[in-house]
Amino acid sequence: MKTPDIPHDETERIETLHSLNVLDTLPEERFERLTRMAKRMFGVPIALVSLIDENRQWFKSSIGVDVSETSREISFCGHAILGESVFIVQNACEDPRFADNPLVLNEPNIRFYAGCPLKVNGQKLGTLCIIDQTPRDFDEEDVQLLKDLAAMVERELTAIQMATMDELTDISNRRGFMTIAQHSLNLCIRQDLPVVLVFLDLDKFKPINDTFGHAEGDAVLIAFAGLMKKTFRNSDVFARLGGDEFAILLSSTSKKQAEVVINKLSRSLEEYNQEMKRGYVVSYSHGIVEFNQEKHQTVEGLLADGDALMYRLKKSK
Residues 51 and 122 in one domain: yes
Residue 50 lies in a domain: yes
Residues 255 and 308 in one domain: yes
Residues 18 and 143 in one domain: yes
Residues 121 and 232 in one domain: no
pLDDT at 176: 87
Residue 22 lies in a domain: yes
pLDDT at 188: 86
> Domain residues for 79?
10-162
The contacts of residue 151 (CB under 8 Å, 6+ apart) are none
Q: What is the pLDDT along the chain (317 residues), one digit of tens a residue?
A: 999 999 999 988 998 898 888 999 989 999 999 999 999 999 999 999 999 999 999 999 999 999 999 999 999 999 999 999 999 999 999 999 999 999 999 999 999 999 999 999 899 999 999 999 999 999 999 999 999 999 999 999 999 888 888 989 989 999 889 988 888 888 888 888 899 999 999 999 999 999 999 999 999 999 999 999 999 987 789 999 999 999 999 998 999 999 999 999 999 999 999 998 888 999 999 999 999 988 887 899 999 999 999 989 888 76
Residue 5 lies in a domain: no
Dihedral angle over CA of 67, 72, 74, 75, nearest 10: 70
Residue 124 lies in a domain: yes
Q: C-alpha distances in angstroms, 172 versus 24, 177, 245, 265?
A: 21, 6, 12, 18
Pick from 127, 162, 197: which residue ends a domain? Answer: 162
> Contact 10/152 with Cβ under 8 angstroms?
no
Residues 111 and 203 in one domain: no
Residue 247 lies in a domain: yes
Residue 102 lies in a domain: yes
pLDDT at 154: 97
pLDDT at 278: 84
Residue 83 lies in a domain: yes
Residues 119 and 260 in one domain: no
Residues 145 and 216 in one domain: no
Pick from 142, 162, 182: which residue ends a domain? Answer: 162
Instruction: Report the half-sphere exposure of 52 (CA within 13 A, side-chain side).
Output: 30
Measured in whole angstroms, the distance separating CA 18 from the mean position of its chain's CA atoms is: 5
Per-residue pLDDT tens over the stretch 20-52: 889 999 899 999 999 999 999 999 999 999 999
pLDDT at 126: 98
Residues 38 and 157 in one domain: yes
CATH code (residue 247): 3.30.70.270
Per-residue pLDDT tens over the stretch 107-155: 999 999 999 999 998 999 999 999 999 999 999 999 999 999 999 999 9
pLDDT at 317: 67
Residues 286 and 205 in one domain: yes
Residue 169 lies in a domain: no
Residues 195 and 224 in one domain: yes
Pick from 162, 184, 199: which residue ends a domain? Answer: 162
CATH code (residue 30): 3.30.450.40
Per the structure, the count of domains in the chain is 2
Residues 196 and 301 in one domain: yes
Residues 72 and 196 in one domain: no
